[in-house]
Amino acid sequence: MALSTVIPPEGPEITHHYKIDGSFDFTQRWTKHPPPPHPPTDEQFWLPAKNKPNAAFLRRHFYHEGRLLEHQALWILKEATRLLREEPNVLSVSSPVTICGDIHGQYYDLIRLMEPSLGGSASKTRYLFLGDYVDRGVFGIECLLLLYTLKINYPDNFLLLRGNHECRRLTDYFTFKLECRRKYSDVLYEAAIESFNSLPLAAVVDNTLFCVHGGLSPHMDSIHDIQMLDRFQEPPTKGLMCDLLWSDPARDHSHDEVDFVENPQRGCSYFYGYKAVRRFLDQNRLSLLIRAHEVEESGYRRFASHGQRAHLMTLFSAPNYLDFYNNLGAVMVYEKGKMSVRQFKHTEHPYWLPNFSDAFTWSLPFVAQKATEMLHALMSVFPADEPDSELGTPTDSDIELDDSDIIIPSPIPGAQFVPGPRRAPRMARKFYQLLREDSEGVSELGSSRQHPGYSKELGAQVPVRPGTPFKEVRQLDMKNERLPERHIEYTRNPSRPASGPTTPQHFSQVLYDEPGSLEYGSPGRASPQFYGRESRQGSIGTTYGSNPSMRRRTLEEHNELLRKFSAWHF
């Protein structure tokens, strides 16, 4: 007799089925309602007035994994971009307001966050989001389209700031670009990037709270400095705009003398201490800095010094981040000087295969693993080194696969291509290499039970399972909190003559070769000067294997080669 457990009403309509021995029973449907087969009609998409999209319908439609017609999604992005461009760099917000941290593509937690009992009804509550709506989670485009739809319907009540992930370099490195390609197209991705470049950078609530995604900068003395920025661009890797999106508070705020030190943990920007926060708040007559950008086990963290009132708070609104952190999410409701932090647990969500793949594409590495074993046995009948008069004897490392190497059966009826005695072994070796590359993907896909994130990607030697302690998962995932390595500008070695920008005066005049040479939170690093190279491995919340733009072949090209090879009969 099979057992079942129904997820609470606030979550998706998912039922967990179990066998008598306690293992999952996958022979029964877990979801009551499969994804809708068709995009919405114009009557469903538009409100009766025909000038705004139906937010209530889209919320339900995305909830059941529905998609829009591309022209509908593009209209939302372009209209939201138009509204965002009209807003200043720093928003002036009146309370009451619900302030939210990172979302990271966790659509079902976003829906939970906006319930009347938690953050407040979407139609009656003013919301301020601090950025990072996409990447790493698998429902980034749904989160973005819903938030933009609510922005269009309630332009004064849905206020959106920019996070460090709202940029081209990170969405290309992580999951959002691939998600747009799989669900829509590159055209929609470009429209999303344009909208990111229009997002405001900060907000001030009741002339009391300063809200931003990352934090402070040594290049900023007053809020007026932010107003003077040109925000309509890809964020640079240094300077004021970079710091607003990337900087972090020093973990220890008990030392009054801590000002700014460079941030090797992120590969750019700075750590800022109590002294820097207190100075900025006093100069601008503010009482509290609220930011997001860092996952916290309880969903939030207050920073105070010497028992004084909190001067800094971090909010993170993506519970059970990446399905592994097991953290709580939190939002803050603020009204006329009164603050209330509300925590919430994660909501079950539908599963997506790694890289948003279909079942056939995802299964290719596993099929290839068996095929390579068969081909290895077949190759043993050929001589180990068979000469080739034109090309020599290539080894696996010498072979480069491209369309010119693919043999397609002749289109002439009755004709059949028979490879020569020297060509057949070489083609088999090439086919073997292609299958081996896919086979190597088995170890990157087979270890994950819930999500494309697991120990090998994180650099650990044992599987990372749900329930792994928060601090351990965070330590393993720390690499992915950095700016992608190819965008980091490293300093010169002290033994070499320095050139380029000088070290800021408030830093120790010490240069380091690599970011790892500076321990967490220690003082002093000179301004970065030149680029490093890409070295990050695929990991939790990144695309399969490595950055798609850095691969020799894209996944689509790789699978197309495999299909063409399968047309050749040995």
Q: Are 535 and 485 in contact (CB under 8 A)?
A: yes
The answer to whether the beta carbons of residues 330 and 315 sit under 8 Å apart is yes
Distance CA 541, CA 447 (A): 15
Residues 6+ apart with CB under 8 A from 496: none
Q: Which residues contact 370 (CB under 8 A, 6 or more apart)?
A: none
By the 8 A CB rule, do 485 and 516 touch?
Answer: no
Indicate if 165 belongs to the active site.
Answer: yes
**Both ends of the chain: CA-CA distance in Å?**
49
Q: Are 254 and 264 in contact (CB under 8 A)?
A: no
Rounded (10°) CA dihedral 154, 116, 334, 327: -110
CB burial string 445-481: b at 16+ within 10 A, e below: bebbeebbbbbbbbeeeeebeeebebeebbebbebbb
What distances in angstroms separate CA 273 from CA 218, 267, 294, one per listed residue? 11, 18, 16
Contact 143, 109 (CB under 8 A): no
Q: Please compute, for residue 457, the number of CA atoms within 13 A of its CA located in the half-sphere on the CB side.
A: 28
Sign of CA dihedral 42, 47, 186, 541: negative
Catalytic residue among 104, 165, 293, 349: 165
Based on C-alpha coordinates, what's the Rg of the chain? 26
Q: HEC string of 90-138?
A: EEEECCCEEEECECCCCHHHHHHHCCCCCCCCCCCCCEEECCCCCCCCC
Integer CA distances (angstroms), 482 to 264, 268, 371, in order: 8, 8, 38
Phi and psi dihedrals of 44, rounded to 5? -80, -40
Between helix 186-196 and helix 176-183 the angle, nearest 10°, is 140
What are the Cα distances from residue 466, in Å, to 49, 76, 458, 553? Answer: 47, 36, 14, 33
List of E strands, 422-551: 489-490, 530-531
Q: How many CA atoms lie within 13 A of 452 on its CB side?
A: 25
Give the HSE-up count for residue 222: Cα atoms under 13 Å, Cβ half-sphere.
Answer: 6
Cis link prior to 8 (omega < 30° from 0)?
no
CA 13 – CA 6 distance, rounded (Å)? 8
3-state secondary structure 371-422: HHHHHHHHHCCCCCCCCCCCCCCCCHHHCCCCHHHCCCCCCCCCCCCCCCCC
* 3-class SS string, 163-191: CCCCCHHHHHHCCHHHHHHHHCCHHHHHH
Query: Where in the sequence numbering do the catalytic residues fall?
Result: 165
